[in-house]
Every structure is written in structure tokens, then in C-alpha cells.
Structure 1
Amino acid sequence: MAAREIEWYPRLSSVGSVTPVRGTTVSTEAEGVVSRINFQPGSQVQPGDILVQLDTRVEQAQLHSANIAAEWARIRYHRALELSKTRNISQAELDAATNELQQTEAEIRYLKALMERKTIKAPFAGKVGILQISEGSYLSKGSPVVLLQALDPIFVEFSLPQRHIGVVREGLDVLVTTDSYPGHVFEGKVTAINPVVDSATRNVRLQATLRNPARLLRPGMFVSLDLKLAQSERALMIPATAVQYGPRGNTIFIVEENPNESSGDRFVRQQAVELGDRMGDFIIVTDGVAEGEQVVTTGVFKLRSGMSVVIDNRLAPEFSLAPNPDNT
């Protein structure tokens, strides 16, 4: 196969961690006894869904009493207001009736707010984790209830050396892989770059956002990633099977015409090469081969430099930039 030139977008490789766009441990805002749990561990919840209800029977009784007191205070206030128009009561008596009404209404608002705090709701849509409480448990203020994580979209955070700051920017494509899902590539884009460089490591922190509709990526996972740069380059590409790796360097075999024969016999010449990134079944060669040169792609371990060869491509495999083997 002839070495061919392609337009290549260089990539920067790194490793990173998956983090949630939004994640929290849902906890209680008030103390109380758990009277009802309204979700199943591992389920998907929506904003405002009631997760846990604490016992509010005491507050309900107090609220009933406060409502009765407020109704009587309201009657006395309106009566005092009417009497004040004919000057049959003093301003101090009207002020006292007004103050009583305001106090009873404030008591009602306080009890309703307390009951609301005993109703634990999902602050955003996400997936809940393992339940950390049970019905009948007494919870103090701030007790953890359950982990809630928004998984779609999801963040991947990673670092790059400061020498790459000039070529990275928001919007660049990111390809993410993990050993949890071999052969599966997750695609995303750089959405944030830290404005400072870490003074200890001289690295800059970046954040990519990925769609995760199947919720395969989970916060805390370790991932590998390739950052695709915006500036393209011209590069020579050959099948990766053409490369013979050795302790003294990498080599390929180039097919050449025998200048001493008129019959068109060919021989192979072993050539040292410098390699770059890999793309599917192909690999970039940065030095050692010219465009159009015929390269041996299979059976290189049987060859020696100067051997005569006959080209037979009947059993040659098909090479692809995006291979999709049947077993994946």
C-alpha cells in the first residue's frame, strides 16, 4: 500500500475524572422523625419531588390553634378599626389589636415554614443513590438522607502542561474513553479553562462537557481523553501493521524496483521511521517515508532488507480510519 498524505488534526492526550454538573448530599433542614420515604434507591427524580416527609403532627396541631387565634385576632382588629372611626376607642387599643393580628399571622407563617422544612424535596433532576435512613429514624438538623447526582450532561476535568495553553481554547472537541466500556468513545467539548496555572505542577485545569443520555459515565470514574486541536496539519499515514517495533527503533519495509533487472523484479528496503498518533488501523509517520512509496503492510516479520518480493494483495485486509470489528 502506498503511503498517503492526509489532513490531520493533532491531538493532546491526558487523563481525567468524571464529575457531576450538579451533585449534592440531600440533608435535613429540621429535626424530626421520618414518617414517609417517597423514592426508590437508584431511581430518577425531578425537581420538587418529595423524597422524605418528617412527622409534622405537632406542628399541624399548633397551626390549627394558630389559625383559630388569628381568626379571633382578625375579628377584634376589624371591630377596633370600626370603633376608631367614631373615636370610641383609643389609638393604643387599636395598636394593640393590630399588633395581636400581626403576631398571630407571623406564628402561622413560622409553623408553615417549619412544616415545609420537614418536607425534603429534590433540588434538581438527577439520580438518587443508596438510602441512608429508614422510616421511624430520628434525624437531627443536617443529617444526610441520600446522594443526588445529575448525570446528563456530565463533566470531565483534566489537566495539561502550561506549554499547551497557546493551542487550547473553549469549544475544542474531546474524545473520552474508559476501561469500563471498551471500544466506546464519548464525545464532548471543552467548556471551561482555569484562568490560573497551578504553581506546583505548572499545569492548567480544563473542563469538558459531555452528553451522557444512557448515564454510562458516573462521577468519580477515571477516563482517558484526546483533545482535538483546531489547527490542522498535513501528515503521512500508513497501516499500523506495517510497522516493525524493535529495541533500536521502529522500521518499515519499502518496496522498490530492482534497478539491475529489466524484468520488473522488486525488492524490499528496511527503513527507520518516526511515528506519531494513531487513527484507527493507521498510524502517522513523521519521518522516514515519502508520499506514494509502497509499504509492506502484512508479514513484515518474514522479511529482510534486500529480499526479492512479489506483490500479491488478494488476501490483504481492509484498513479503516474508524474500524468496527464484529465482536465490539
Structure 2
Amino acid sequence: MTKGTPIRMIVMLLLVALVFGGIYGFQVFRNKMIDKAIRGHGMPPQTVSTMVVEPSEWQPKIEAVGTLRAVQSTNLTTEVSGLIKAIHFKSGESVKAGQVLLELNADPLKAQLPQLQANVTLAEQNLQRDRAQLKIQAVSQAVIDSDEATLKSAKSQLDAQNALIAQKTLRAPFAGVLGIRQVDLGQFLAAGTAVVSLQHLDPMYLDFKIPQSQLHLIQIGDALTVETNAAPGQTFQGKIQAIEPQIDTATRNLTVRAEIANPDGKLLPGVFATAQLRQGNPESFLTLPTTAIAYNPYGSTVFVVVDKGQGADGKPQQVAEQRFVTTGMTRGDQTAILSGLKAGETVVTAGQIKLRNGTPVLINNTIEPSNNPHPEVKDE
């Protein structure tokens, strides 16, 4: 080991001690400054965005998204099996109620009709003959009763055969538009196999849900307008047709059904649509951006900016005060405030996540949250 080695080690140890001493000194200085700020101001101020809450005119309305469905809709099937003998429709065709759509082979059943008809004719003749004999007391009343029972039995067998033959023919149960044909000529069709769908498209039903807080805004017969991106730029008129008499306990929502006029058949089952229902005259509400409200299990809250006079530095001091509010309907980016605020109060709209009750605030409204009652989606 050379003589210079201890000197180098001493220098290195002094440098390490100097570095750690500097870090420790900085931490001590920083803690003192924080303690001074806390003692002088209680807590450091937080930068927030605010707005002065003012009343605005509000048209009470319900806006909900629902699903369209046909007033009458079914997948047509046959009650019995058989070989497809004739198809009398085309895919997408409009049909009338009772129109014949498909025939299964019913020749074996039809071949039995003459025999059954002959049995009915013979039973009628025997009854007429025995009634004539009864007038001269040649037969008893028991014979007449037997003849009448035989005639009823023969007619019943004939009616049953005709019913079986009728089951071999598929008819449209109501007027509407057919879907795509699912079967072909000559195919053996098992009972219950789907043949084609049938939809009655005018009018249409729109089923949608509303929260229980809006129950008082609707009643059967109320008019509404419907829009859908399946028919862009068009508005359809309708009215409330039915209201579910119970509320879903899982969601606290109520199901409503509206009847929509669809004379041109532009609305189709399964399409999503937006319903708008206006109620009463415009009202005045205090409104806030929805982002300014904190929704909690124990209630909705906002932070209001309150002046507390001059601080220790002689400057005006403003602090955040947490306030419980009652919210109402929403409109775009806005929410109506029913209670808890007064017009002219300053409410924090951004940065409230950093606040507690009594936190000093610095207001910077360079960037404000969206507060549009009718926002539009823009493609970028």
C-alpha cells in the first residue's frame, strides 16, 4: 500500500460527508419553510377553476335511449310436419292477414274426406228415416237418440279431418312485412321449424327506461319526438302508450312504452332511438357543470369559495367550503341544482379533488370545464 492511499480515502470520506450533510441541510431548510407556511396560513393554497352560479331557463323534459320493436312480431312455423308442396311468398314481401304463405302435402288427409262425408250423409238419412218411423210408433225414442249421436260423431270426425288439413297450410296471422325465407320447395319440414319472420311495422313501439325521479313528468298519452341515426335528420312523432306499474328495485328505473308512427317503414325492430318528452312551461334553475358535483353515497356535494378577509400577508384570503346540494335533471353537460346553493355564489368547477373544508384556494379560470346544455359529438 502506497503512502498516498490513506490521504485519498480521507478525501473521499470528506466528500461523502459533505454530500450527505448538504442533503440533510436542504431537508431541514425545506421542513422549516413548510412549517412556516403552515403556521402562517394553516395550509398551502390550492389552484382551482370556478364559476358564479346563476339561474337559467330550463325546459323540463325527459331524454332517454330505448329500443324499437314491432307492434306485432313473430317467427312463423307450422303446427305439423310434412313435405313442402308449395310456397306462395317472396322474401321481404308485404302480406295481408290470412294470406296463404306455404302448403304442406295434405293429399293423404284429403283422400279420406269422401269417406267421412259419406258417413255424415248416411247418418243424416238414418236419422230422417227413424224420425218418420217414430211418428207411427215403429221405433222407440232410444233409436232416435242413437241416430243423433251417430250423426254428431260423423260430423265431428269430418271437422277433425278438415282441421288437420288446415294445419298443412300456413297463413299470415296479421298484415305485415315478411323477412328472409328459411325453407325451400320439396323440403321436409318438421313441426315448429321457423319458416319466415313477420313484422307489423306501423306503428312501432319504443321501450325505454327513466329514473324514478322523473315519474311525475310522464303520463299516458303524452306526445314525444324520436330520433335515430338509422334515419339521420328525421324526426318521428309518437305518444306514451303504456307505463310499467312497478319500478325495478335493482336500478330504480321505470319502463315506458311509446307508440311511434312509421308510415314509410323507415324504423325497424331492434334499432336504438332517442326519445325526447317535453313537459310543462320553462322553469328557472341554478345550473352547474356536472363535473363540479361530487356524487357520494351520503349525498351530493360541491365546494363554494368563501371570502375570509385578509390573510397574514395582508392579501384577501379565500377558502373552500363544502356544501351539500340536491340535484335535479341533467341537460347536456349541466345539472340542475334544486337546493343548497344561492344565485351569485362562486362554486369550484375543477380541482376540487384536492380540497377539504377550509382549504385556501387560488382561482385560475384559464381552463374551464365544458358547460354546454346541448353538446355535439364532433369527428376529428
Q: TM-score, normalised by structure 1?
A: 0.67
Q: Deviations over 1:9-62 (max 9, x none)?
A: 332222110011111111112222221111111111111111112222112111
Change (3 A) 1:11 1:92: closer
Structure 2: stretches of 5+ with no match in the other structure: 1-55, 293-329, 338-342, 345-365, 367-380
2:105 match:
55
Asked if the contact 1:160/1:203 (under 8 Å) is kept, the reply is: yes
User: Any idea what the Cα deviations from partners look like across 1:203-247, whole Å, max 9, x if unmatched?
Assistant: 111111110011111111112222222343369xxxxxxxxx9x9
Match for 2:159 among 92, 109, 129? Answer: 109
Q: Which has the higher helix share?
A: 2
- 1:200 paired with 2:250, answer yes
* Counterparts of 2:184 and 2:208, CA distance in 1: 38
Distance across 1 between alignment mates of 2:83 and 2:224:
48
Classify the secondary structure of the residue corresponding to 2:63.
Answer: strand
Distance apart, 1:92 and its partner CA:
4.2
Partner of 1:43 in structure 2?
93
Distance (Å, rounded) in 2 between the aligned partners of 1:212 and 1:148: 16
Q: Which residues of 2 match residues 5-84 of structure 1 at below 5 A?
A: 9-84=59-134
Give TM-score scaled by structure 2 length. 0.58
Where does 1:129-168 land on structure 2 (aligned, <5 Å)? 129-168=179-218
The Cα shift of 1:89 comes to 2.8
Kindly tell me the number of residue pairs found equivalent between the two proteins: 246
SS at match of 2:244: strand
Is 1:180 the equivalent of 2:230? yes
Q: Distance in 2 between matches of 1:35 and 1:232?
A: 64
C-alpha distance in 2, partners of 1:169/1:94?
64
Q: Which moved more, 1:115-124 or 1:81-90?
A: 81-90
Question: What corresponds to 1:258 in structure 2?
Answer: none
Match of 1:124 among 174, 184, 199: 174
Letter in 2 for 1:155: Y
Q: Is the 8 A contact 1:7 1:233 kept in 2?
A: yes
| C-alpha separation in 2, matches of 1:23 and 1:55 | 27
Q: Where does residue 37 of structure 2 map in the other structure?
A: none
Between the aligned partners of 2:112 and 2:86, the Cα distance in structure 1 is 21
**Shift >4 Å, 4+ stretches:** 285-288
8 Å CA contact 1:172–1:230 kept in 2: the answer is: no
What does residue range 220-259 of structure 1 map to in structure 2 within 5 Å?
A: 220-233=270-283
Measured in 1, the distance between the counterparts of 2:57 and 2:112 equals: 75
Offset at residue 174 of structure 1 (A): 2.0
Q: CA RMSD in A?
A: 3.1
CA distance in 2, matches of 1:219, 1:155: 9
Structure 2 CA distance for aligned equivalents of residues 208 and 135 of structure 1: 40
Q: Aligned partners of 1:120, 1:217: CA distance in 2, in Å?
A: 27
Aligned match of 1:209:
259
For residue 305 of structure 2, what is the aligned residue in structure 1? Answer: none
Local SS of the residue matching 2:266: coil
* Deviation sequence 1:67-124 (CA, Å, 0-9, x none): 1222122212211221122222344443333332222111111111112222211111
Contact 1:173 1:229 in 2 (8 A): no
Structure 1 stretches lacking a partner, 5+ long: 1-5, 236-244, 249-275, 289-304, 306-328
- Identity between Structure 1 and Structure 2 (%): 33
Q: Which residue of structure 2 lines up, in the alignment, with residue 254 of structure 1?
A: none
SS at match of 1:33: strand
1:223 alignment partner, SS class: strand
